[in-house]
Amino acid sequence: FQTPCCNKVYTCRFCHDENESHCVNRKDVTELVCTNCDTRQKVQAECENCSLRFGKYTCLECKLFDDEEKNQYHCDGCGICRIGGRDKFFHCETCNMCLPIKLKNRHRCVENVSRSNCPVCLEDIHTSRIPCHIPECGHLLHRTCFEELFQAGHYACPTCQTSLIDMSQLWKYLDNEIEMTPMPPEYRDFKAEILCKDCHEESVVKFHVVGLKCINCGSYNTCRIKGSPKPDVSGKSYLYKLILKNIWVT
C-alpha cells in the first residue's frame, strides 16, 4: 500500500512504523500496489488487472489483508478488526471493547477502559497485538506487563491497588506467620486504623509487623490511615515481596 503520510510503498504498516519517525493511519490509505503485476489501484479485495486476491481475510474499512487464519472479525464498536472469533466475544458498550463471552454480565465495567494506556509500560492497549489481562477491578494491563509485575513481587493493580488475583493462599500464609510470631509484650495492645484496598472498608485492628488484616474481608492488602504513632512497618513491603516470590513466581 502507499502511505498517505509519506507517499512511500510498504507491504506492512508495522514495517512502516518501525522504519519511519511517525505512524501510519491505515484507515487513511486509499491506494495500493499489486505485488504480482505492480498495478497501482484503489484499495479493494482483488487486483483489477490480474484478479489476485490480496488476502484470505479482507477488511476494506481497516485496510487489512491477511492470509493467516486467526478467526478475524471486524467490530464496529471497537472500530478495528479483532481475532479469536466473533462467536467467542461480545462488545461491552460501557468498557467500549470486546471481551470474552465468559465475562458477559460477570465483569466490572470501567468506561472506555481500553482507550487508556497500560499503566505499566504506558503503551496503547486498544490496538495492541499483545493480549491484555483483565483483573476483577476492571483496569486493563498487557498480559506480559502483568507477568512482569508478579516476577518483581507486585500483586496489586497499578491503577487502584486492589489485588490482581485471588490472594487467599497468601493471606492464609500470613495468618500462620502472625500466629507463630507474637509481638513483644509492650506492643501487644497496640491498635491500628486501616483502609483495605480490596473491599475499601476502614477498620481498627491489632498492630503486627507482619501485616494488618482487614476484619471485613480478611485481606492483608491494607494501609494505615490514622491514629496514634505506631512502630515503623516500612519493612512490610519487602517481606511481602519475599513471600510473593516464594509462593507465586515459578
10-residue averages of pLDDT along the chain (250 residues): 88 87 88 92 93 92 90 94 93 94 92 93 91 92 93 91 92 94 86 92 90 94 74 48 49
- Whether residue 208 contacts residue 231, with contact meaning beta carbons closer than 8 Å, is answered with no
Residues 243 and 172 in one domain: yes
Residue 52 within a domain: yes
Residue 80: φ, ψ to 5° = -145, 175
User: Does residue 158 lie within any of the structural domains?
Assistant: no
- Are 197 and 214 part of one and the same domain? yes
- Kindly state whether residue 104 falls inside one of the protein's structural domains: yes
Same domain for 179 and 236?
A: yes
Number of compact structural domains in the chain:
3
**Residue 121 domain-assigned (yes or no):** yes
Going by C-alpha positions, the residue among 132, 112, 111, 110 that lies closest to residue 121 is 132
Number of other residues whose CB lies within 10 A of the CB of residue 162? 20
Would 179 be classed as within a structural domain? yes
Same domain, 18 and 44: yes
**Residue 59, domain member (yes or no):** yes
DSSP 195-231: EETTT--EEEEE--SS----TTT----EEEEESS---
Q: Are residues 139 and 87 located together in one domain of the fold?
A: yes
Answer yes or no: do 178 and 235 share one domain. yes
pTM for the structure as a whole: 0.75
User: Residue 43: its pLDDT value, please?
Assistant: 93
Q: Determine, yes or no, domain membership for 163.
A: no
Same domain, 81 and 131: yes
Which of 21, 42, 66 is the C-terminal boundary of a domain? 66
Pair (174, 132) in one structural domain: no
* The pLDDT of residue 246: 54
Q: Pairing relation of β-strands 80-82 and 73-75? A: antiparallel
pLDDT score at 150:
87
Query: What domain range includes position 173?
Result: 168-247
Residues 212 and 176 in one domain: yes
pLDDT at 242: 52
The verdict on 173 and 233 lying in the same domain is yes
78 shares a domain with 62 = no
In a domain, 218, yes or no: yes
